[in-house]
Structure 1
Amino acid sequence: MKRILIFLLIVVMILLVALQFKPVVLQFEPIKETVQMLVPSAEKTDLIHKDSLTIKSRVTVPEGFQRVSYPEGSFQQYLRNYRLKPYGSKIINYDETDYFWQDGHIGILEVPVPKNGLQQCADALIRIRSEYLWNNNRKDEIGFNFTSGDYCSWNSYADGYRPKINGNSVSFHKTVSKDNSKTNFYKYLNLIYTYSGTLSLYTELPKINDVKDLKIGDMLIKGGSPGHIAMICDEVINANGDKLYLLFQGNTPAQSVHLVKNLEDDRISPWYQLKKDAVIPVSNYTFGDSKFVRFK
């Protein structure tokens, strides 16, 4: 009888132990399901190298594509190899506050943001283009139209000419001595930021009507007040001639220039398919009727 009681006691203890561990087993089922759901997503976003510090090295070419080649020293190569801050860096406004939305980018370009608040979306691209020309001894090509249509070149500004603005009328007068310094160059850019923008760029620059002709350095633009603009900074092509592109942008308020995600198609993000006259969402802005322009 004693042996029977001991046997029954052992059975009861085994049952109690089994019941005790059952919730633990069940607890892992949702985790297993979550992991299974995340695997395809991880495969779709496997185009990012988080340890890399240039546009070209940060983003992998999608399967079946290869990068379109450009000459060394070209504006296209300059943009493709532009330096990035470490992965995870935030978009910072000109007043050193965090931009309110941090979910639309995969890289921050090494472009300083002036505290004066002038370097907004079009201005950031004007700066990048102008710095390329400056660094490659092509200073004579630096110049932009004001929204009024009046052309203001770096050479004229360096020689001491300044605009006198009376309503829509602009005239230039020599008021200061000649100054070819880099410091004066950035003062010139501040003047351009003040009187130029997406509207003047759209009016001034050559239009690209066939998307097959798009290349690095071209810009997706909505000219207006307000308008918006983003620049192509990398380009890949497949055997069928299909192309994909990377885009970066500045923004309003003036803030960090950033390499954007493709929030509409995570299979190829951050790469974009671009079409003329199409609706193209780019990060936190939607181009409702896409147009493209190119720096001269």
Structure 2
Amino acid sequence: MRKVALIVLIITTLILLVYKLSPQPINQLVSTISKSISAVNKDSLTIASRVNAPKGFRRATYAKGSFQDYIRHYKLKPFGSKIINYDTSEYYWQKGHIGILEVPVPKNGLQQCADALIRIRSEYLWDNNRKDEIGFNFTSGHYCSWSKYAKGFRPKINGNKVTFHKTATSDYSKSNFYKYLNLLYTYSGTLSLYQELKTITNVEALQIGDMLILGGSPGHIVMLADQVTNNKGENLFLLIQGNTPAQSVHLVKNLEDNALSPWYDLKLNAVIPVSNFTFYNSKFARFK
């Protein structure tokens, strides 16, 4: 109660001070302060419970057990947790996020931005008994499936030529699954995903699990992690990302719009700054 009373006292003092200096923006100030207080629930440990819907918006409906529902309820570390690099060092910039996802970061440094999203998608398919759907293209365009890897098939790579040969015993274990993912991290990335995934050409069709992507070397990719809508059919989204160097997957702030943050109003072919990266001609894609 003392903390609450102190916060109220500080806010009241700030409002009175600004009102004396400039009485015109008082309503705007109150609105901004209210948003900043209520936008984030610091004690909550999922994406959906960490961030409240803005006034006039409600969360979009998705079926329980869907990929969208899985992402929306992804577990978060306690509020204030820092972005950690693969070598256990702290990332140099900690001001662009409001949550850290419970996604372990391998010490080999391979799980970068695209890889982290490949992992999340693959783990969803694994957990929902859809293991035969797990598979991604290498940058060369060759498809590498979990089912073939589990049977012992391994790639032989010669430049851009890739062939698969049975050189290992069958192993369907979870530990072997993560060895398979490490293989994908090595030979897949934003460029292969951009070439492989379904392109979204209508911003109104965007949904949780879709990705804002720049395919290339270097490129970048972030995932739409939650969605709210209003009576006009307008949508806002939360975004998550991994990064290079390989580091904690995190829920990002909207640094360009403090009043809306952490929600984003996404547009096609637009300039969209996301944390410490800017997409200059925004393109969106979806897992098949």
Shared fold per TM-score greater than 0.5: yes
| Partner residue of 1:95 out of 87, 93, 104 | 87
Q: Distance in 2 between matches of 1:36 and 1:147?
A: 58
Q: Distance in 1 between matches of 2:256 and 2:59?
A: 22
| 1:278 to partner: Cα distance | 0.2
1:57 equivalent in alignment to 2:49: yes
Q: Distance in 2 between matches of 1:101 and 1:35?
A: 34
Q: Distance in 1 between matches of 2:13 and 2:167?
A: 73
**Deviations 1:23-50, CA, capped at 9 Å, x for gaps:** xxxxxxxx95687458665323221000
1:205 equivalent in alignment to 2:197: yes
Q: Distance in 2 between matches of 1:188 and 1:242?
A: 40
Match of 2:33 in 1: 42
Match of 1:187 in 2: 179
Correspondence list, 1:87-236, <5 A: 87-236=79-228
SS of match in other structure, 2:184: helix
Match of 1:19 in 2: none
**Deviations 1:99-150, CA, capped at 9 Å, x for gaps:** 0000000000000000000000000000000000000000000000000000
SS of match in other structure, 2:49: helix
Work out whether residues 44 and 266 of structure 1, in 8 Å CA contact, stay in contact via their aligned partners in 2: no
2:255 partner letter? L
Match of 1:288 in 2: 280
Work out whether residues 139 and 155 of structure 1, in 8 Å CA contact, stay in contact via their aligned partners in 2: yes
Q: Distance in 1 between matches of 2:122 and 2:13?
A: 53
2:46 partner letter? T
Match of 2:267 in 1: 275
Q: Distance in 1 between matches of 2:17 and 2:175?
A: 56
| 1:286 to partner: Cα distance | 0.4
Match of 1:80 in 2: 72
**Deviations 1:139-179, CA, capped at 9 Å, x for gaps:** 00000000000000000000000000001110000001100
Work out whether residues 198 and 227 of structure 1, in 8 Å CA contact, stay in contact via their aligned partners in 2: yes
Match of 1:240 in 2: 232
SS of match in other structure, 2:114: helix
2:45 partner letter? L
Identity %: 70
SS of match in other structure, 1:235: strand
2:33 partner letter? A
SS of match in other structure, 1:188: helix
**Deviations 1:20-78, CA, capped at 9 Å, x for gaps:** xxxxxxxxxxx956874586653232210000000000000000011111011000000
Q: Distance in 2 between matches of 1:222 and 1:167?
A: 24
Q: Structure 2, unaligned stretches of length 5 or more?
A: 1-11, 19-28
CA distance 1:178–1:277, change in 2 (3 Å)? same
| 1:264 to partner: Cα distance | 0.6
2:246 partner letter? A
Match of 2:58 in 1: 66
Q: Structure 1, unaligned stretches of length 5 or more?
A: 1-30
| Partner residue of 1:263 out of 255, 258, 278 | 255
CA distance 1:42–1:162, change in 2 (3 Å)? same
Q: Distance in 1 between matches of 2:34 and 2:253?
A: 16
Taking only aligned residues, the RMSD between alpha carbons, in angstroms, comes to 1.4
CA distance 1:124–1:36, change in 2 (3 Å)? farther
Q: Distance in 1 between matches of 2:107 and 2:113?
A: 15
SS of match in other structure, 2:198: coil
What TM-score, normalized to structure 1?
0.88
| 1:251 to partner: Cα distance | 0.1
Largest Rg, 1 or 2? 1
